[in-house]
Amino acid sequence: MATRTGQDGLSRDRIVEAAVAMLDDGGESALTFRALSTRLKTGAGAIYWHVANKEELLAAATQATLADVLRGDESDTAPQDAIRAIALGMFDAIDHHPWIGGQLAGLASRSAALRIIERIGQQVQALGMPHRHQFFAASALFSFILGVAGQNAANARARVPGRSRAELLGAEATVWAGLDPAEFPFLRGVAAQLGDHDDREQFLAGIDLILAGIGSAR
């Protein structure tokens, strides 16, 4: 559906684009209609003509940033590969736009969340999961995606300026390697893996573990 444009050239798409940029810079608290008006060099009334309230704007921004994930086509893709593609699409989207995770967990962006759960659920069905287990399997996948992707994005934002990810992980790996072997045998054993692991690879490994469980239940 085409977006309407006001006399000042302001459109819903332009408003959403500016909102996404503000959310990326400062999170949900940075997005106010007053700040948005200043950024767009217009009055709040002109924005309200296109967007009723902040909740609607947040929902539209979430839909826009997840557009590629929401319109994916798995018709010629194996269910496991389709689930991995959906998961990675969300992981990358949340990595670039950390505020998305909170929106998908709330009611404001319910439409986007429902569409993603529906797509995951259809693939769970295609895997032959018994009906009584389909809800739990789809919700486990969705929750894992939101949780891990959200934590990864939070870690990136909390990184100490001037220190790379490799430096931070290397320092933490050194701490793990120096722990008491009697009290922390597991952490000492995987310390080297912590230092040089790939976040996307780790994320996909978790998805594959859930898929393996689905296969077992099937």
Residue whose C-alpha is closest to residue 141's, from 211, 65, 69: 211
Decide if 117 contacts 142 (C-beta within 8 A): yes
pLDDT greater than 60 at residue 27: yes
Mean pLDDT computed over 149-163: 77
Whole-model pTM: value is: 0.83
Decide if 50 contacts 11 (C-beta within 8 A): yes
pLDDT at 8: 57
What are the structural domains, with CATH classification, of the chain? 12-65 (1.10.10.60), 74-217 (1.10.357.10)
Q: Which amino acid is at 78?
A: A
pLDDT digits (tens, 9 = 90+) for 86-101: 999 999 999 999 999 8
Residue whose C-alpha is closest to residue 124's, from 114, 134, 116: 134
pLDDT greater than 90 at residue 137: yes
pLDDT greater than 60 at residue 57: yes
